[in-house]
Structure 1
Amino acid sequence: MIRLALALICLCGSVLAEPSLHANGAPRWQLDASWFGGWSGIEIGTQGAQMTVINDRGQLVTASLQRANGRISGVGVQRVTALGKAAGERLGKKASDAEGIAIADDGTAFVSFEHRHRIMQVDLSSGRTFKRIVLPFQNKMEPNGGVEALAVAPDGTLYAIAETAPEGGAPFPLYAYSNGQWRISARIPQRDSFVPVGADIDAKGRLWLLERSVTPLGFRSRIRLFVIDPRAPREYTLLTTVPTQYDNLEGISVWSDASGQMHVTMISDDNFLRILRTQIVEYRVRE
């Protein structure tokens, strides 16, 4: 356990034991379609039977997940929608680089974008984006280092972490948005060369952070879990992969099945390159 310097009202109850992750498959998802690839954000719903994903070219896809003995055995695309402006026209190339998605319990959905840094609400049925949330920290982000880690808490608070690493090894600010205002709710320690690329908040209010490191031998991924409680903050490193164990994992979703078993699902961004794969990587959580 590593004590953190955090300043956030507790969102959750106490955690008595360190969770552990147990692999539950990493199938490759393939489709011969011009829009397919570049997946950067994922949300799992319907107790593991459905997923919503977004990609670097502004495509929003809803798909069913077929399972055998709890593992993904097939993916059935249900709807493919291009993200657009509120009036309906398509987003321009620079404006369509969607990186993070977060769906609240009431169905309100948010998408974060890079290059033209912003967070927008999105209508999942039409793909239309609206109610832009201005980022007061956007001048601190590189064009390709925007908000990839986007999550929404059970109370509706939206959380965002930029991929651009602060200078001098300083912690990553965890930004929180509620009642029309941004604040820095916590500071996430930089550890090694990993940077945030995905986030989710579970039903207990804990922050799950997916991080990536690019090495000469391939991508590495890490999952850290944070109990954000100023009275007893905790940080757990639950997964650290070796190069090439998985491809370029960028999106993460934490969910529970009908029996209450918690799962973590991640998706990889192939950057629309033949040498990379789209993988849907799953782990069961044991507590």
Structure 2
Amino acid sequence: MRLGSTIKLTLGLLIAATMAVVAYAANLPAAPSSARYLGSYVWDMNDSWFGGFSALSLGRDGRSMTVLSDRATLATARIRRQGGQISSIEVKTTRPLQSSSGKILKGRIVDSEGLAIARDGTIYISFEGISRVVKHRKASSRAQVLPRPSEFRSLPINKALEALAIDSRGRLYTLPERALNDDGQIPVWRWNGRTWSTPFTLPPLGNFLPVSADFGPDGRLYLLERDFGLFGFRSRLRRWDITAEGPANEKILLKTTFGTHDNLEGLSVWRDDSGTLRATMISDDNFYSIQRTELVEYALPR
């Protein structure tokens, strides 16, 4: 989510006012979780493009990485690891995304949030400001805007298509941050290459809002959610089996307390050399110096 100026000011004041108590919150008892914390890495660069990361995608080896900022910059990087932990990150390429007319994105159309990369390297990105999903044959190519159903056009600004994921059959799934349907459920739209449909919904739970989604190598759908309060941010990770009848076997894998991590917004699920499922998440610092870009990793149960 790219925050509006008023919201950003409020957020900045809240964060500044609570920095002294974040340490206290971090020392509160951990929330129940079946995920196992592996480690965190604070990533910092001086370049003007750096920050505001809303999505990431890791390669199968957990070392190649593509990250997306909410100012429509796409970057690739190489992760170095020691003992399985992130030790350094080397940026390889950075590129501002183009519109369908070939111009660099600016203004209301910039707010890029979700990222999914197909097996053939095609890049898909979802947006909030003007709700849409676009396709890039490669990072340097102009966007091709997928058809926009009427449901997309009525989504609230800044609460729209926050999450984007692609399954093993190459079908895209997107869902909004805060726009429940008439039954009070989170709508999930699927693109099959020709049309959009709504194959299923997901149940909201508490005050958490969806911010990212991914299909893991196990074929299951993972949903990263976020909440914000006086003591900072907290995160939750849920998982479902996607069956012909819809989502099943919901499980809460992770629920942190306020202040445990920064503003986690991006999610990538992969399997390491030992066969362990890992969730790698990245935080959106909102381009505030008092926040941080943090990569956080958890081992997930089978």
TM-score (norm 2): 0.84
Distance in 2 separating the partners of 1:114 and 1:55: 13
**Residue 65 of structure 1 aligns with which residue?**
79
Instruction: Show structure 2 runs of 5+ residues with no match.
Output: 1-32
Alignment match, 1:207: 221
SS of the residue corresponding to residue 114 of structure 2 reads: strand
Partner AA of 2:125 in structure 1: V
**Cross-structure match for 1:12:** none
Give the counterpart of 2:230 among 185, 194, 216.
216
Amino acid at match of 1:114: E
Q: Aligned-pair distance for 1:87?
A: 4.6
What is the alpha-carbon distance in structure 2 between the residues aligned to residue 168 and residue 183 of structure 1? 16
Corresponding residue for residue 142 of structure 1: 156
Structure 1 partner of 2:144: 130
2:64 to 35, 50, 59: 50
Which of the residues 49, 55, 58 maps onto 1:35? 49
| Preserved CA contact (<8 Å) 1:44 1:50 | yes
Q: How many residues align?
A: 269
Structure 2 CA distance for partners of 1:231 and 1:212, relative to 1, 3 Å: closer
Match of 2:285 among 266, 270, 282: 270
- Mapped contact 2:268–2:279 kept (Cα < 8 A): yes
Match of 1:240 among 255, 259, 265: 255
**Correspondent of 2:133 among 84, 109, 119:** 119
Once the two structures are superposed, residues 248-269 of structure 1 have per-residue CA deviations (whole angstroms, 9 ceiling, x without a partner) of: 1111001123443321110000
Alignment-mate amino acid for residue 82 of structure 1: P
Q: Find the counterpart in structure 2 of residue 282 from structure 1.
A: 297
Say if 2:226 is the partner of 1:250: no
Report the Cα distance in structure 2 between the residues aligned to 1:167 and 1:217, rounded to whole angstroms.
30
1:221, 1:241 within 8 Å by CA — same for their partners in 2? yes
Q: Which amino acid aligns with 1:32?
A: N
Moved more, 213-222 or 145-154: 213-222
Which residue in 1 is equivalent to 2:169? 155
Q: CA deviation at 1:205?
A: 2.2
- Tell me the distance in 2 between the aligned counterparts of 1:124 and 1:232: 32
Q: Deviations over 1:6-34 (max 9, x none)?
A: xxxxxxxxxxxxx9421111111100011
CA contact (8 A) 2:175 2:187 kept: yes
The Cα shift of 1:120 comes to: 0.3
Cα distance in structure 1, aligned partners of 2:66 and 2:154:
29
Deviations 1:75-106 (A, max 9, x none): 00000100012453211222111101001222
Counterpart residue identity of residue 66, structure 1: R
Aligned-residue Cα RMSD (Å) equals 1.9
For residues 237 and 120 of structure 1, what CA distance do their matches in structure 2 show?
Answer: 31
Matched residues in 2 for 1:125 and 1:170: separation?
Answer: 37
What is the CA–CA distance in structure 1 between the aligned matches of 2:257 and 2:38, rounded to whole Å?
Answer: 18
Q: TM-score, normalised by structure 1?
A: 0.88
The 3-state SS of whatever aligns with 2:259 is: coil
The C-alpha deviation readout for 1:130-150, integer Å capped at 9, x for no partner, is: 243424312342110111110
